[in-house]
Structure 1
Amino acid sequence: MDIHNNQGRLKKLWVRIDKYCSKADVKILARFQDELYAHGLSTARIIIYLGPLYMVSKNARKGLAKLDKDDLKKIISKIEMKDYSEWTKVRYKYAIKKFYSWLDGIEWNTKEYSERVKWIGATVKRSRLGRPVILTKEEILKLFSVCKGTREKAL
């Protein structure tokens, strides 16, 4: 049972890919999707990989296969300047690293990356995450005061 409708989300993503990406990019992304399924990745994870690659393909002036290190630096720079969460930025960068390593012939399960993407840092810096929100005693009591029953208070 697919409560998140991942198959439907993937179909909608492919409609956008077919509409806005070049035919060569569509073929490459289809091959990449086949590779992801062959390695046992779920449909949800495949959407996580293909979504950022769709955005790169849609906004790049060249095809995905023709982008070099300098082109990718510009793309990563644009991602970093966006008002995305840190985890979204990491997800985009990781998808780009894995895709270009696969495209350049590096095996999927290795920790190696191709030369054109080796420089991309795809980790979250703790300093950028910010501090967790800690409620004061007064705020907690205020939350309890608006709860109607014991079940809500237990949550």
Structure 2
Amino acid sequence: MRCADRGGRFRPPLFRDRGFSLAELLAVLAICLVLGGGASVALVSSFAGAPSDETAVREGKYAAQWLQRVFHKALLSGRSFVFRLSPSVPQKRLKIQWADGSEEIYDGKGRVWFTNRSAVMAFCTYSPKWNTISPAFTIEAGSSPDRRRPLKYIVVTPFCRVSYRDDPPRD
């Protein structure tokens, strides 16, 4: 046993003659960098503020495509649904409530905000028998709940045609 009486340094038995290789140190360092980078990206994206207009326009297009798929799914399955969106409060989600009580939600995750263009709250009801929605509606897509200038419009006709445009329909 090496000890202080023979002139050597005393080491606890667990750390005696053991060390880390360069490969082990580099592997631990790489893992820490990856985890730290992922955490920093998540923090920066959550505190970055309002998304850019391009991001909101792209996300609004995805929402319009989702809505068109919902109409197609309802037609194929023969199920009706109700769609409701507030005219005064911007929301980051679009929600469909099927007749059986289940829901389907499109979440813009804060990258796009939706507001009903109509001044009146309406429950838009889809009829699978006639493939129509009543009343027709227009959704304003914007980049922030504070900035009330819409970037694009999602227009839904009574015959379930969804278009994504720069200007609203004429009344």
Structures share fold, TM-score greater than 0.5: no
Sort the TM-score into its range (normalised by shorter chain): under 0.3
Larger-Rg structure: 2
Structure 1 or 2: more strand by fraction:
2
TM-score between the two structures when normalised by the length of structure 2: 0.23
The TM-score with structure 1 as length reference comes to 0.25
